[in-house]
Every structure is written in C-alpha cells, then in structure tokens.
Amino acid sequence: MAGRIPQQFIDELVSRVDIVDVIDARVPLRKAGRDYVARCPFHEEKSPSFTVSPAKQFYHCFGCGAHGTVLSFLMNYEHMEFLEAVRELAAKAGMELPQSASHGGNDGPSHQPLYAILEQAAEFFRQQLRAHPQAIAYLKQRGLTGATAAEFAVGFAPPGWDNLLQALGKTPGEQARLLEAGLVIKKDRNGHYDRFRNRVMFPIRDRRGRVIAFGGRVLDQDDTPKYLNSPETPVFHKGKELYGLFEAQKALRHLDRVLVVEGYRRRPGRARRRPPGPGNPAPRHAGRPQRPLPVPARGRGPGLPDPQDGQASFRRGNCAICLIFHIFL
C-alpha cells in the first residue's frame, strides 16, 4: 500500500503536520525543555519515559523502545492501516492525496454522508433511552450499569413506525441516506418505515470508532425477531467486522491477553468487572474467516487454547473479557 504514494509526498506530509498537536490530542503531553514527555501509551509505566521532539518530528519511548514519526504513531495508537493514517494527516494538513492513492481503501469520501446519518441515529437512540424509563429499567434488570451503557453508547428505538424517520428523514435526500444505511425499510408502494422499533440499541463501530451499523434487542418477549441486526450496507459487511473492536483497541493497551468469543452473553457483569475489552464477530456472522485483528498482544497470544485456562485468566484479572453483542437473554 505504501508504494502507491510517492515517498516525497509522505515526507512533505510528515513535515507539515505538528507531531506534538497530533499526539497531545490523544496522550496529554507535558513540556520538558525543548521536548515534551508523557507516560508511554504503549506500555505500563509509573514515570514518563515517552518523549516527543517537535524539532525532529519524532517520538521515542526509553522504556519500551517504541519510536517513529507522526504517521507511525497514528498507525500504532489508532490501529490504522497505512493509507488510513495518510488520509487523516493529509486532511489535517490540507493536502490532496496523489491520484494513485485516492481510489484505495473502502471508505472514500462518498461514504461520509452514511457515517454522518449513522452517527446521528446513534445520538437519537441515546436520547430516546433517557426518555424511556421502561428501557432503562430493563437494562438495570439485566445487570447493565449506567457506566457500561454509556461506554458502549447503548440506546433505545422507541415504539412506533416512523420516529427515526420523522427525526432524521425530513427530506427525500435524508430518507435515501437512511435507506442506504439500513435504518429504514421501503414500503411496497410509497414511503418508508423504521427498521428498529421498541428495541434496546447497540451501535457497531469500525476500528476508527465510526458507527457503521446497529443491533437491537426487543423489550417485549413476545416480539420477534428477538435480535435484529442492520443489513449489509456500503460501510457494513457482517463477515468482516468485530463488534466492540474499537473499545477493545483502547483496552488492549493495558492488557496482557484478549479473549475472542462468539455467541450469546449471559453474564454482563463480567464486562463490568474489568475495563471493557470486547472483540467478537458481528452476531450470527462469525462462520467465515475474519480479517486479522489489528491489535497487539503483550506476552501471550490473543487466543486461549483451554477454556479452563481462560477462566483462570479471568479470575486473575489480566484478560480482556469480550462483551457479546447478544448480551441479554
């Protein structure tokens, strides 16, 4: 992928972007002489050994040896692919990507309206959760705390056929985006109606934290289907996404191993006992091979060969317990 962008462009990009601004937005830095210091985001430490040099446009950790430019920092910290990091920095610097690189990747500028409408829908569902005590009571009954609900941006799709449509689909263009995002369904004749109704809502995010889909669980046991997921869309491909991977990436910076699981989750309390570290395939779609997890593992590998070993690891508290999407039975 790197070969598709001229080295001259990369060098100019790195020189234009202030490495201190980029890193300080993610890891608070403290000025120390000509440089800046912080506790390293790539390993546990008590005293700061992570140094950022604005003159050299370079970072280095004297504790773990992590080092590089602003580009490598984004790739390692945000778990971005090379082209993703280049795009983000180029946008920040006001530079246009070379034509050879503008067609790479799967999330070009044409998808930005979809990301925007999905984020608006997530905010709408969060607001609706606060306005519906019965949904809050259901979550509490199932053992989900307010902190965990906030961490995973849990929301609620209220009863009714067009609540989301009325809120976000006032124009034909907005309705078309809601349809493309899988949030509404087209009627046989004219018009649309909400796909998710009277359901606890879980936003599914990509590795960059953008909302790409939803899953909903009914409140009424008599309603069907019990679980409803977003359909395939231009930004959501069920066989290629892991629910909770975005949250797991943050937690994995401080965990020795991660437990990747599939299936329903009967004990949401486990996710509350440790910093959330989910990482499981989108529900009902884990049969196909997943893309490699872009997350580091310190010490031991990311898998657990023995379930008993996994239980022991959980009791010791050094394992990221994966929050299953189907959390409520």
What would the pLDDT profile of 193-241 be if each residue is shown by its tens digit?
Answer: 999 999 999 999 887 788 999 999 998 877 888 889 999 999 998 777 7
Q: Which of 289, 274, 288 has its CA nearest to residue 323?
A: 274
The H or E element spanning position 115 is: helix 112-130
Task: Give exposure, 197-225, as e/b (b: 16+ Cβ within 10 Å).
Answer: bbbbbbbbbbbeebbbbbbbbbbeeeeee
**Where is pLDDT greater, at 245 or 104?**
245
Band of pLDDT at residue 272, cut at 50, 70 and 90: very low
Q: Could you give the percent of the chain with pLDDT greater than 70?
A: 70
Band of pLDDT at residue 183, cut at 50, 70 and 90: very high
Least confident interval from 9-18, 83-92, 241-250, 277-286: 277-286
Band of pLDDT at residue 260, cut at 50, 70 and 90: low
pLDDT at position 250 is: 64
**Where is pLDDT greater, at 68 or 266?**
68
The H or E element spanning position 191 is: none
**Where is pLDDT greater, at 245 or 113?**
113
Q: What mean pLDDT do residues 5-25 have? A: 91
Q: Which of 84, 18, 30, 86 has its CA nearest to residue 55?
A: 18
pLDDT at position 164 is: 97
**Is 177's pLDDT higher than 80?**
yes
**Is 150's pLDDT higher than 70?**
yes
Exposed, middle or buried, 284 (CB in 10 Å: 0-12/13-18/19+)?
Answer: middle
Q: Give the residues across from 319 on adjacent strands.
A: 257
Least confident interval from 89-103, 258-272, 289-303: 289-303
Task: Quote the CA–CA distance of 276 and 253 in Å, as a whole number.
Answer: 12
Omega before residue 225 within 30° of 0, cis: yes
Query: How big is the chain by its Cα radius of gyration, in Å?
Result: 22
Task: Quote the CA–CA distance of 84 and 79 in Å, as a whole number.
Answer: 10
pLDDT at position 276 is: 38
Q: Could you give the percent of the chain with pLDDT greater than 90?
A: 43
pLDDT at position 23 is: 95
**Is 323's pLDDT higher than 80?**
no
Going by C-beta distance under 8 Å and a sequence separation of 6 or more, which residues neighbour residue 227? 215, 216, 217, 218, 283, 326
Task: Quote the CA–CA distance of 22 and 2 in Å, as a whole number.
Answer: 21
Least confident interval from 29-33, 151-155, 236-240: 236-240
**Is 257's pLDDT higher than 70?**
no
**Where is pLDDT greater, at 254 or 264?**
254
Band of pLDDT at residue 58, cut at 50, 70 and 90: very high
- Average pLDDT taken over every residue of the chain: 77
* 214: phi then psi, degrees, rounded to nearest 5: -140, 160
**Is 329's pLDDT higher than 70?**
no
pLDDT at position 261 is: 56
Type of residue numbered 272: R
Report the 10 Å Cβ neighbour count for 159.
14
